[in-house]
Chains A and B, each alone.
Chain A
């Protein structure tokens, strides 16, 4: 049973398209995150939700919109995709937001915009 599952694992799409990445965790964690890993492997936080409430919204183009229908799910929708959006997107969860809990990561979604 996968603890944090992301779909799809790979996504190839054309510029200008709209796409979504889905994430689900079955750990009963309160907090979920989206991270972006660029081509140089640098990991940067994009969003965080705690019990369905947005608590972190870093400087991300507003073409990116997260949605959390319940605390087990955090989806990422991207409008008008650009070449620079190509990256690996990781979903993660932690037991709580505060308290230094480690994250459990999904296996990542490699997005390629052509």
Chain B
């Protein structure tokens, strides 16, 4: 079974600065997909970014980018120019093509003014 680990339960960052959230996973598969989801206080789960394991290029979505290290089974999320609206729980998730989404335990991010 796949496992996803987020080693930082809580983090904080000053507005306009950059922060990196860590995620590691364990799998024996070679083809899979990785995601970061954001859950603000409103409780809604929002897809932030998606990475396909067979693509070496790191995914980016505006201020959000990932550092995908397949050999190290690491998938970190970098948020640039942090905004107050980025305050949320962030979940890393793993999807083995043909299987369900397995989530990490989450990192609570607080952006301070």
**A interface residues, Cβ below 8 angstroms from B:** 33, 40-45, 48, 56, 88, 90, 92, 97-100, 102-105, 107-108, 110
**B interface residues, Cβ below 8 angstroms from A:** 32-33, 35, 39, 42-47, 50, 52, 89, 91, 95, 97-98, 100-103, 105-106
Q: Chain B residues with Cβ under 8 A from A110's Cβ?
A: 43
| Distance, CA A90 to CA B37, complexed state (A) | 14
Q: Chain B residues with Cβ under 8 A from A92's Cβ?
A: 45
| Distance, CA A104 to CA B50, complexed state (A) | 13
* CB-based nearest B residue for A102: B47
| Distance, CA A43 to CA B47, complexed state (A) | 15
| Distance, CA A67 to CA B31, complexed state (A) | 31
Q: Are B45 and A42 in contact (CB under 8 A)?
A: no
Contact A90 B103, CB 8 Å, known A41-B89, A98-B98, A100-B52: no
Q: Chain B residues with Cβ under 8 A from A103's Cβ?
A: 45, 47, 101
| Distance, CA A97 to CA B99, complexed state (A) | 7
